[in-house]
Structure 1
Amino acid sequence: MAPPNADLDSTVSDDAPDAYRDLMDRYQRISHLESGSGVLYWDQQVTMPTGGTAARGKQLAALSATTHEKLTGEGIADALAAAEAADLDGERAANVREIRRRHERNRSVPEELVEELTEQQSASQQVWKEAKADDDFDRFAPTLETLRDLHVERAEAIDPDRPSYEVMYEDGEPYLPLERLEEVFEELKAGLVPLIEEIEASDVDLASPFVAAGPYDDATQRGLSESVLDLLNYPDDRGRLDVSAHPFTSGNQFDARITTRFKPEDPMDAFTATVHEFGHASYELGLPDGRFGEPLGASLSSGLHESQSRFWENHVARTEPFWEGFVEEANDHLGTDATAREAYQAVNQIYPDNLIRVEADELTYHLHIILRCEIDRAFVEGDVSVEEIPHVWNEKMDDYLGVVPDTDADGCLQDIHWSSRFAAFQGYTIGSVLAAQLDHAMREDLGDVDALIREGDLRPLWEWMTEHVHRHGRRYPTDELVEVATGEPLTAEYFLDYVEEKFGKLYDL
């Protein structure tokens, strides 16, 4: 890593054409404004007093309006045209391509709408928190409907000739067609549903020794989270661990912060959430320092981001080799005497009657995602009214998972996402599919990855991800990056093979 005082004013090389240097200077200012907004968002979720919501909304709205003005104005339009006329190499051309895409996508959106939408998002998050705490969907419903309408208005301004949901989806997944995602969903349903049914019919009991020994206070669980972050090489000088209502990651290659949350009865919930968010942070921290503020120094998509968190959570921290090396550390923190096998089984239980997505097991998790995507799309397209969401949610939970929540707090109010955006849940499943494909390619390259995990030598895994994924930033569209990293296009084959082998052995199928 570069030293903390790295010179960030010289990230564009001196031999670059003047037109390109001018464009990048303009864009880096935009990027830095957005980065500052990210810090304000983190503060709102972690440390800001609840009374600060109104002011924070105004602050974020002003920043978003300024950013929008700079991104869509004549100055950057002229700079783009001049840079495109210059003779640029592949990386510089990729930077220009990405800036052009953002400029074209946003130039038809009125600045007033950008400001109003940002302010509404900030206010909506506080309303969501209060509604969830009080199990009161009716309090959140008008805010949710207003937010949906503003997002639809924005999507129609971007492209009035395509469905609004598809336009929204491209905010997070600019290069993976929605049709390809739907194909993946069908492949997963065809493979996961019968596998889950077989597991439900099995008489194998993977009871958790950690749950039996609880409850655990926050300090104990925080200590466990800090220990695993040390093992994962999470750097103290560029990251921090905090607590929030919904775990998330925020930042860049110089400052990637993560949050977790604690359940007194089950320390593995916070443990896996912490590792998951570390995976997100590893992507940000793996981006090239010298590209800070450029598209080549930014993550590509929500699905790529999620592939990193799902890799570290599932392909590292939910493996038996990991627990063979870490179980004594966990026992020391929790006051338990679990074996490595018991710990491995505990973090891989399949429980379809679970209500909460972020607590779901590795298989039923995707039914939670599909459920949300279906409701999300129906609400955006007007096929489901805001008043119908709790009922539709409960019906789909019953259909897909055979369980119905007693409260909306455990149902349609459980996720923070609808307080800010729509068409965003797909990235979680894309990430799981891609994580398995990356894991397969990594094992082909590194050899005995299990031995590295068992020994706690995890830096080679992070370095492999940085070399094959992180360092490219937005150099390639998604399909090209997947081929660069793994040698083949995105496929669900590796994920399905992986879960069938893993859970077949765990449940004696």
Structure 2
Amino acid sequence: MATDASDAAGDGEGDEPPAAYETLLDQYRRVTNVREAGGLLSWDQQVMMPEGGTPARSQQLSTLSSVSHDLLTDDAVGSALDELDAAELTAERAAVVREIRREYERADAVPAELVEEMSTTSSEALSAWEEAKAESDFETFAPYLEKHVELKREYAEHVDPDRDAYEVLFEDFEPCLSLERAESILADIRETLVPMIEEIRASEVDLTTDAFTSLGTYPADDQEALCRDALSTLGYPWDRGRLDTASHPFSTGTTFDARVTTRFDEADPLGSLLSTIHEFGHATYTLGLPDEHYGSPLGQDRDLSVHESQSRLWENHVGRSQAFWESFLPTVAEHFPQAESVTPREAYETANQVYEDNLIRVEADELTYHLHIVIRFEIERALIAGDLDVAEVPAVWNDKYEEYLGIRPENDAEGCLQDIHWSHGNFGYFPTYSLGSAMAAQLYAAIEDDVGADALDEGVREGDFETLHEWLTDNVHRHGARYETDELVERATGEPFTADAFVEYVTDKYGSLYDLDSV
């Protein structure tokens, strides 16, 4: 989409800002630096820290969380915001003030002692979750989950005692879309997918579903080398990032240092490859934020829905496309000679099979993935509302998997302990995965309209992702948090954010794959 004149001209950036604005931005840069230091310590805890390091790490992270909170709620920030109430500001500076004000008002409502306690609990809960998952023992993790629920209710009560607590928590990850609006988009996704999945399972089409898993094992070291080649092919700048392993894949960092992690299953190389591509999407968004605005909201991501749109776009619209497999399959065969017999079509079908019996969200196919999200969404809403006791989580989880997916976990590790999010106290995060998928489809459709679907496909087929990178950087990444979610999406695509493009995308793609009557 074309940029507007204020974007091209820098929005009056050369004008001298008010002194209060400079004070505000200087203080916020300090907040950012403390937060990023905490993020690096958290990355280390999940990737490299020795098992015995938790007691000290929990104190370190708690202290940094408290320092960040104190800096953000300092009287100087409140005074500067008051002074800027009536100031005439450029659009960019007004956006900076808007975003800092939102954070300040939220943080100022919460006692520092509660912030520290939440951080300490998160650090301790992570180790407990890792142990509980390894032993498939929910009772080991349950006391920490119970503490998180208690603390998050208290947190929401401080922020806004007159609103639903889960709605308040959701705003930590998606501040610009109401929960009601999000639920409407999620409902459109559900209403499309449930009958589609049923029709697919009744289909007589026989896709290739084991093109790789039927060919032997894939050593982790060789999978790591393959993932590194994939990152290089996609355009990951190694001087600003790194690849490591973690019990739950994630990406973290800044525009100068955005790291990705993955994990390996020696029976199936697709899991680590698609996971790596997913985390690359997060990292390339972070790396695409403007360097010159580091420390300012203009140098920060918009929100989790936008962040997830980038990871889901790269994972699903690129990594699961036939064009990608036509390009990348020879690289797979270089690392794993047993895959030389696999055709691009077989790899494409395997990457897009709709599973009958998958229990693990991060290994789910593109469609049933969203039912995994629905289950988590319903459980965590009930936990925060007080309608579900922590002790009941494993049984309710298993019942919902049987109801929605027709399968039942045999143990806690493949059931309610599989995700890391609740160990961090991240209630309200899960809906952003499905919202991000809807947004990814809308963005990708706009890219196809702008550059041509055939031209975009040909670029992927040739392993040339420059056009895709440039479009996403120009229309999404470089704006940071300047625009709120709806405006960002509408500027990029010409339409408000809806599930319409996602519905069209999955209907066309899976209708063709499975020869569905609905197409």
TM-score (norm 1): 0.96
Q: What one-letter code is carried by the residue in structure 1 that aligns with 2:513?
A: L
Instruction: Show CA shifts across 1:280-336 (max 9, x none).
Output: 001100000000000010001111000000000000110011111111111111221
Matched, 1:401 2:405: yes
Q: State how far apart, in whole Å, the 2-side matches of 1:235 and 1:243 are.
A: 18
Maintained 8 Å contact 1:260/1:270: yes
Matched, 1:164 2:162: no
Q: State how far apart, in whole Å, the 1-side matches of 2:468 and 2:216 are.
A: 33
Q: Any gaps of 5 or more consecutive residues in structure 1?
A: 1-11
Instruction: Show CA shifts across 1:317-357 (max 9, x none).
Output: 10011111111111111221211111111111110310000
Equivalent residue, structure 2, for 1:188: 189
Equivalent residue, structure 2, for 1:32: 33
SS in 1 for 2:261: strand
Maintained 8 Å contact 2:207/2:349: no
Between the aligned residues of both structures, percent identity stands at 53
Maintained 8 Å contact 2:352/2:365: yes
Maintained 8 Å contact 2:281/2:310: yes
Alignment map for 1:210-225 (pairs within 5 Å): 210-225=212-227
SS in 2 for 1:327: helix
Matched, 1:149 2:150: yes
Equivalent residue, structure 2, for 1:371: 375
SS in 2 for 1:415: coil
Q: CA RMSD in A?
A: 1.0
- What is the aligned counterpart of 2:510 among 496, 503, 507? 503
Maintained 8 Å contact 1:121/1:419: yes
Q: State how far apart, in whole Å, the 2-side matches of 1:248 and 1:214 are.
A: 28
Equivalent residue, structure 2, for 1:290: 292
SS in 2 for 1:263: coil
Equivalent residue, structure 1, for 2:4: none
SS in 2 for 1:257: strand
Equivalent residue, structure 2, for 1:122: 123
Equivalent residue, structure 2, for 1:134: 135
Matched, 1:391 2:395: yes
- What is the aligned counterpart of 1:436 among 437, 441, 451? 441
SS in 1 for 2:249: coil
Maintained 8 Å contact 1:231/1:456: yes
Q: What one-letter code is carried by the residue in structure 1 that aligns with 2:175?
A: P
Maintained 8 Å contact 2:401/2:407: yes
Q: State how far apart, in whole Å, the 2-side matches of 1:382 and 1:248 are.
A: 30
Structure 1 consecutive aligned stretches of length 4 or more whose deviation exceeds 6 Å? none
Maintained 8 Å contact 1:242/1:260: yes
Instruction: Show CA shifts across 1:189-213 (max 9, x none).
Output: 2111111111111232322221111
Q: What one-letter code is carried by the residue in structure 2 that aligns with 1:453?
A: V
Maintained 8 Å contact 2:73/2:104: yes
Go from structure 1 to structure 2 and tell me whether the alpha carbon gap of 1:13 and 1:126 turns closer, same or farther (over 3 Å shift): farther
Q: State how far apart, in whole Å, the 1-side matches of 2:14 and 2:175 are.
A: 28
Equivalent residue, structure 2, for 1:494: 501
Alignment map for 1:25-174 (pairs within 5 Å): 25-174=26-175
Q: What one-letter code is carried by the residue in structure 2 that aligns with 1:105?
A: R
Maintained 8 Å contact 2:354/2:367: yes
Q: What one-letter code is carried by the residue in structure 1 that aligns with 2:423?
A: S
Q: State how far apart, in whole Å, the 1-side matches of 2:91 and 2:127 are.
A: 44
- What is the aligned counterpart of 1:452 among 459, 465, 483? 459
Matched, 1:312 2:314: yes
Matched, 1:464 2:466: no
What is the CA distance between 1:14 and its match in structure 2?
7.4
Q: State how far apart, in whole Å, the 1-side matches of 2:30 and 2:207 are.
A: 56
Maintained 8 Å contact 1:279/1:311: yes
Matched, 1:272 2:281: no
Q: State how far apart, in whole Å, the 2-side matches of 1:125 and 1:246 are.
A: 11
Equivalent residue, structure 1, for 2:305: 303
What is the CA distance between 1:120 and its match in structure 2?
0.5
SS in 1 for 2:244: strand
- What is the aligned counterpart of 2:247 among 228, 234, 245? 245
SS in 2 for 1:250: strand
What is the CA distance between 1:462 and its match in structure 2?
1.1
Q: What one-letter code is carried by the residue in structure 2 that aligns with 1:435?
A: A
Equivalent residue, structure 2, for 1:261: 263
Q: State how far apart, in whole Å, the 2-side matches of 1:392 and 1:310 are.
A: 28
Go from structure 1 to structure 2 and tell me whether the alpha carbon gap of 1:13 and 1:19 turns closer, same or farther (over 3 Å shift): farther
What is the CA distance between 1:84 and its match in structure 2?
3.2
Maintained 8 Å contact 1:283/1:308: yes
SS in 2 for 1:242: strand
Maintained 8 Å contact 1:215/1:266: yes
Maintained 8 Å contact 1:176/1:478: yes
Maintained 8 Å contact 1:434/1:491: yes
Instruction: Show CA shifts across 1:21-75 (max 9, x none).
Output: 1111111111111111110110000000111111111001111111111111211
What is the CA distance between 1:82 and its match in structure 2?
2.1
Equivalent residue, structure 2, for 1:9: none
Maintained 8 Å contact 1:19/1:86: no
SS in 1 for 2:65: helix
What is the CA distance between 1:261 and its match in structure 2?
0.2
Q: What one-letter code is carried by the residue in structure 1 that aligns with 2:481?
A: R
Q: What one-letter code is carried by the residue in structure 1 that aligns with 2:466?
A: R
Q: State how far apart, in whole Å, the 1-side matches of 2:199 and 2:333 are.
A: 32
Q: State how far apart, in whole Å, the 2-side matches of 1:119 and 1:389 are.
A: 23
Q: State how far apart, in whole Å, the 1-side matches of 2:412 and 2:327 are.
A: 40
Q: State how far apart, in whole Å, the 1-side matches of 2:186 and 2:489 are.
A: 18
TM-score (norm 2): 0.95
